[in-house]
């Protein structure tokens, strides 16, 4: 394939390719930023620029760019058995191996022993909801249809996953399904009850109990929660939050679905968010970091108890009535196996813990006391600076997202990809980043803050 010249590519992109979460009216003016390749934390752009990928794509390129061994594994698998559907009795070797590998990686005592692979995070959560309903159906309580999620949640964009997503921007012209119930989030900086941790006694957990009582426990199938709310603004809960939440779920026989789409595979400095907060979920959904984005893959893992209930107690003759053409895709699973090899061999989880804590310290040192930085949050390779008008919780200049977007754009000009998440400027570097890389990223961020604050 002969390379196209950049102007032609830009023209054809604007003419024919649609981009998600992008305002088409503006896009036809700005056009694409075309990526040619990359290596480690760096992206190489088609116009010759080299920039630091400070957001790992979309929180997902955990091992960094240019890992040819993943390409080689995919190539081998493609020549062997590229794909066959997993429906009925059909199976292939690589998904079997990957399932066993993940069972061994999940922290002790979780009994997450049964897996189904999907194509990404949204369909993983759809699968999780269906599985929770099949579990309750097997227990002869089909009226348990409701799913509880929390404010600031992002669980994906397909119908039910979007209904569990509570960020209002995702509901323009598309209301959530009525079976979804939304409650408070553990967002201490913006506490719904105006309280302060720890005096609050976790009023946000009580809010979930109150919603269960209001709706009737006999109507609720599951609660879904991200260990750390990512797209909502890197919201890190108090450490005992999940202990209380899982106690409530157990008491009412409501399943706890943990959405590890961002937090899985090392991002928090632990293999999974459930290690960081000692959570015992019934169902885990995952995606992103499992392949570092080299191929699309997601999935769910369920406990032996949930699996056995569906297997043994469902009405005879009723199959697990849910499936996707690309469940258990062997080539995507081969990418995951090679990706996990890299994470293990290069100790990237440990690196995310130590370099991640350096990142947080560095942000605190650089931005602590900055007039518009009201809160600095993070864990592992996830970090956010929440920006407000000094002394208030209002957006800088009164315009939501304007200041963080200006900072992110300035970072781009200066050679760093950072992301505006509502009132936050966020970083999520690849897990292979070093302390020197962090110094470079934070220096660019500091300059961007300075230039936007002084020149607008
Ligand atoms: C926590 C969480 N869950 C689910 C999803 C949806 O994943 P996907 O975009 O692969 O469908 C995302 C995507 O950002 C996410 O952050």
- Over 90: is that where the pLDDT of 455 sits? no
If DSSP codes are grouped into helix, strand and coil, which group holds residue 274?
Answer: helix
CATH number at residue 352: 3.90.1150.10
C-alpha 71, offset from chain centre: 24
Task: Report CA dihedral (50, 55, 61, 64) to the nearest 10 degrees.
Answer: 40
Measure 164 CA to ligand 1 centroid, in angstroms: 12
Q: How many domains are there within the chain?
A: 2
Residue 228: name the closest of 197, 254, 262, 200 by CA.
Answer: 262
If DSSP codes are grouped into helix, strand and coil, which group holds residue 151?
Answer: coil
Measure 160 CA to ligand 1 centroid, in angstroms: 13
Contact in structure between 76 and 94 (CB atoms under 8 Å): no
- Over 90: is that where the pLDDT of 302 sits? yes
pLDDT, average across residues 197-205:
97
Q: Judge if 303 and 357 occupy the same domain.
A: no
Based on its alpha-carbon atoms, the radius of gyration of the chain, rounded to whole angstroms, reads 22
Query: Residue 153 has which token pair?
Result: 């949640």
First to last CA, the chain: 43
**399 band by pLDDT with thresholds 50, 70 and 90:** very high
* 10: in domain: no
Query: Residue 243 has which token pair?
Result: 């202990």
How far apart CA 70 and CA 82 sit, in angstroms, is: 15
CB under 8 Å to 295, separation ≥6 — which residues? 74, 331, 332, 335
* 21: in domain: no
How far apart CA 170 and CA 177 sit, in angstroms, is: 13
Q: Which residues pair with 286 in a beta bridge?
A: 299
3-state secondary structure 291-342: CCCCCCCEEEEEEHHHHHHHHHHCCCCCCCCCCCCCCCCHHHHHHHHHHHHH
Ligand 1 nearest-atom number relative to CA 260 = 1
Ligand 1 nearest-atom number relative to CA 296 = 10
Whole-number pLDDT of residue 401: 93
**452 band by pLDDT with thresholds 50, 70 and 90:** very high
Q: Judge if 351 and 449 occupy the same domain.
A: yes
Q: Which residues pair with 386 in a beta bridge?
A: 375, 424
Q: Judge if 144 and 233 occupy the same domain.
A: yes
Quote the domain boundaries for residue 46.
33-63+347-455
pTM, full prediction: 0.98
The dihedral built from the CA positions of residue 318, 320, 324 and 326, taken in this order, carries a sign that is negative
Q: Judge if 279 and 321 occupy the same domain.
A: yes
Q: What pLDDT, in 10s, does the model give residues 54-75?
A: 999 999 999 999 999 999 999 9
Q: Judge if 261 and 333 occupy the same domain.
A: yes
* 8: in domain: no
Q: Judge if 87 and 228 occupy the same domain.
A: yes
Whole-number pLDDT of residue 13: 98
Q: Judge if 170 and 319 occupy the same domain.
A: yes
Q: Judge if 378 and 306 occupy the same domain.
A: no
Measure 314 CA to ligand 1 centroid, in angstroms: 30
* 448: in domain: yes
Q: What pLDDT, in 10s, does the model give residues 163-186?
A: 999 999 999 999 999 999 999 999
Measure 122 CA to ligand 1 centroid, in angstroms: 6
* 13: in domain: no
Strands 146-150 and 220-225: parallel
CATH number at residue 301: 3.40.640.10
Please give all residues whose beta carbon lies within 6 A of any atom in ligand 1, as ranges. Answer: 58, 120-122, 125, 154-156, 226, 230-231, 259, 261-262, 287, 298
If DSSP codes are grouped into helix, strand and coil, which group holds residue 373?
Answer: strand
Q: Kindly state the helix (H) or strand (E) to which residue 21 belongs, with its residue range.
A: none
C-alpha 264, offset from chain centre: 8
* 202: in domain: yes
């Amino acid at each position: 394939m002969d390379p196209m010249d950049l102007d032609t590519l830009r023209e054809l992109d604007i003419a024919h390719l649609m981009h998600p979460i992008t305002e088409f009216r503006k896009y036809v003016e700005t056009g694409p930023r075309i990526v040619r390749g990359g290596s480690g934390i760096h992206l190489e752009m088609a116009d010759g620029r080299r920039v630091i990928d400070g957001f790992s794509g979309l929180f997902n390129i955990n091992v960094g760019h240019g890992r040819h061994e993943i390409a080689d594994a995919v190539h081998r698998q493609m020549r062997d058995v590229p794909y066959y559907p997993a429906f009925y009795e059909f199976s292939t070797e690589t998904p079997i191996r990957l399932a066993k590998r993940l069972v061994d990686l999940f922290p002790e005592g979780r009994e997450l022993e049964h897996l189904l692979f999907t194509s990404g995070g949204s369909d993983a959560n759809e699968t999780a909801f269906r599985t929770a309903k099949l579990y309750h159906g097997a227990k002869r309580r089909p009226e348990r249809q409701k799913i509880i999620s929390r404010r600031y949640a992002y669980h994906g964009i397909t119908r039910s996953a979007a209904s569990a997503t509570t960020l209002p921007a995702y509901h323009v012209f598309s209301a959530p399904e009525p079976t979804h119930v939304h409650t408070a989030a553990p967002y201490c900086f913006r506490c719904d009850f105006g309280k302060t941790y720890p005096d609050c006694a976790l009023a946000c957990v009580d809010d979930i109990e109150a919603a269960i009582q209001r709706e009737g426990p006999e109507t609720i199938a599951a609660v879904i929660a991200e260990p750390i709310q990512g797209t909502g603004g890197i919201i890190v809960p108090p450490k005992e939050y999940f202990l209380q939440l899982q106690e409530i779920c157990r008491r009412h026989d409501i399943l706890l679905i943990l959405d590890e789409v961002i937090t899985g595979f090392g991002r928090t400095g632990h293999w999974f968010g459930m290690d960081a907060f000692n959570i015992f979920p019934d169902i885990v959904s995952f995606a992103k970091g499992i392949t570092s984005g080299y191929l699309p893959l997601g999935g769910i893992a369920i406990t032996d108890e949930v699996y056995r209930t569906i297997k043994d107690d469902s009405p005879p003759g009723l199959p697990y009535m849910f499936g996707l053409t690309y469940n258990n895709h062997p080539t995507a699973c081969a990418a995951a196996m090679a990706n996990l090899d890299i994470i293990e061999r290069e100790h990237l989880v440990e690196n995310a813990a130590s370099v991640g804590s350096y990142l947080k310290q560095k942000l605190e040192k650089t931005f602590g006391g900055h007039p518009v930085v009201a809160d600095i949050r993070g864990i592992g390779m996830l970090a956010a600076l929440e920006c407000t008008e000094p002394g208030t919780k209002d957006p800088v200049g009164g315009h939501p997202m304007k200041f963080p977007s200006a900072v992110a754009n300035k970072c781009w000009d200066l050679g760093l990809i950072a992301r505006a998440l509502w009132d936050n400027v966020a970083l999520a570097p690849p897990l292979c980043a070093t302390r020197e890389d962090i110094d470079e990223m934070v220096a660019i961020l500091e300059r961007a803050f300075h230039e936007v604050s002084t020149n607008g």
